[in-house]
Amino acid sequence: MADAHPTLAEQFDDLPQQRNAALLGMWTFLATEVLFFGGLFLSYTIYRHAYYEAFEEAGRHVKILYGSINTALLLTSSLTMSLAIHSAQVGQQRLLVRFLRLTIFLGICFLVVKGMEYKSDIDEHFVPGARFEHGLPAQAQIFWFLYWIMTGVHSLHLLVGIGLLVVITWMARKGRFSEHYNNPVVISGLYWHFVDVIWVWLYALFYLVNRN
């Protein structure tokens, strides 16, 4: 233990053990995230089954252009995140920082587009409540309630992801990572990809399936 690697925490014997523990920890956390969103996906399923027509009518008012642009942005950010991990694994410090920054940038772009979409939703009174008047059935408000909660919680996750990557970028600039030690990059990458996976489903459920 005396000649242990400086990045090895005292409770671990060697770097692979530490790496495996970190990976397993993140996957466990992602399993909790699946169930965290799970209750909402379940609610969506039940209410869409019950109020099929109302959901269809409500779904026509969601702005598909914003949603599609955002999907493309997130998918691309997943690519840059993967490339960042690759750079860390082969020890290319500058490329790592560059890809991380690109990922953060794409994440911010997503939030900006989402913000614009939210603004137009508010302007057109698609917020459930007293001012929700569109001649839509009452159950359409359930659709919009789920829309706000689910995309809102997702955006919050993305915000956390951006915060995480800012810290990782800062660490990368300090030269903390090498081909031997890059757990934090890999772990944050898993989280980032997962937020992306959630969005793919949100995109399908809110923007696509109710269009016809």
Partner 1 sequence: MTSPEIKIIPRNTYLLVWGVLMFLLLLNFGLAEIRLGPFNLVVSLAVAFIQTLLMLLYLMHARYDSGLTRLFVIVGFVWLLIMFDLVLSDYLTRGGVPSTLRDSWKHGAWPAATNNFPAGFSTNGR
Partner 2 sequence: MNATLPQTTTPEIPDPPQRLLTYFEEGGHTLGSWLLTTDHKRIGILYLYSILVFFTIAAFAAAMMRMELLTPTGDLVTSETYNKLFTMHGTMMVWFFLIPSIPSVLGNFLVPLMLGARDLAFPRLNLLSWYLFNFGGLLALYAIAFGGVDTGWTFYEPYSSAFSNGHVVTMVAGVFVAGFSSILTGLNFIVSIHKLRAPGLTWFKLPLFLWSTYATSIILVLATPVLAMTLILVAAERIWGIGIFDPRLGGDPVLFQHLFWFYSHPAVYIMILPGMGVVSEVITCFARKPIFGYHFVAFSSIAIALVGFFVWGHHMFVSSQSVYAGLVFSLLSYLVAVPSAIKVFNWTMTLHRGRIHFDTPMLYALAFIGLFVIGGLTGLFLAALGFDVQAHGTYFVVAHFHYIMVGGMVTAFLGGLHYWWPKITGRLYPENLGRLSALIIFGGFNVTFFPQFVVGYLGMPRRYHAYAPEFQIFNVFSTAGTSILGIGYLLPLIYLIWSLKHGKKAPANPWKATGLEWQTPSPPPKQNFAQTPIVTQRPYQYSPEIEEEFIHG
Residue 209 CB, nearest approach to partner 2 (Å): 18
Is the CB of 7 or the CB of 82 nearer to partner 1?
Answer: 82
Q: Which is nearer to partner 2, 49 or 174 (CB)?
A: 49
| Residue 204 in tokens | 């399908």
* Residue in the block written with tokens 């979409």: 117
Contact positions vs partner 1 (CB under 8 A)? 13-14, 16-17, 19-20, 23-24, 27-28, 30-35, 38-39, 41-42, 45-46, 49-51, 64, 68, 71-72, 75-76, 78-79, 81-83, 86, 89-90, 189-190, 193-194, 196-197, 200-201, 203-204, 207-209, 211-212
Instruction: Select 105 or 148, whichever has its Cβ closest to partner 2.
Output: 148
* Dist CA 75 CA 203 (whole Å): 12
Which of partner 2, partner 1, none does residue 11 bind to, with CB < 5 to 8 Å depending on kind?
A: partner 2
Interface with partner 2, residue 45, by CB under 8 A: no
120 counts as binding partner 2 under rule CB under 8 A = no
Contact 136, 58 (CB under 8 A): yes
* 50 near partner 2, rule: CB under 8 A: yes
Residue 153: both structure tokens together: 């919680």
Residue 8: contacted member of partner 1, partner 2, none (CB under 5 to 8 Å, by partner type): none
Q: And the tokens for 91?
A: 């020890």
What distance lies between CA 70 and its chain's CA centroid?
11
Query: How far are the Cα atoms of 41, 164, 170 from residue 186, in angstroms, in the given order?
Result: 28, 12, 15
- Alpha-carbon distances of 175 from 35, 52, 155, 172, 181, rounded to whole Å: 36, 54, 30, 5, 11
The C-alpha R_g of the chain, in whole angstroms, comes to 21
Query: Where on the chain is the footprint of partner 2 (CB under 8 A)?
Result: 9-13, 17, 20-21, 24-25, 28-29, 31-33, 35-40, 42-43, 46-47, 50-51, 54, 128-129, 138-139, 141-142, 145-146, 149, 153
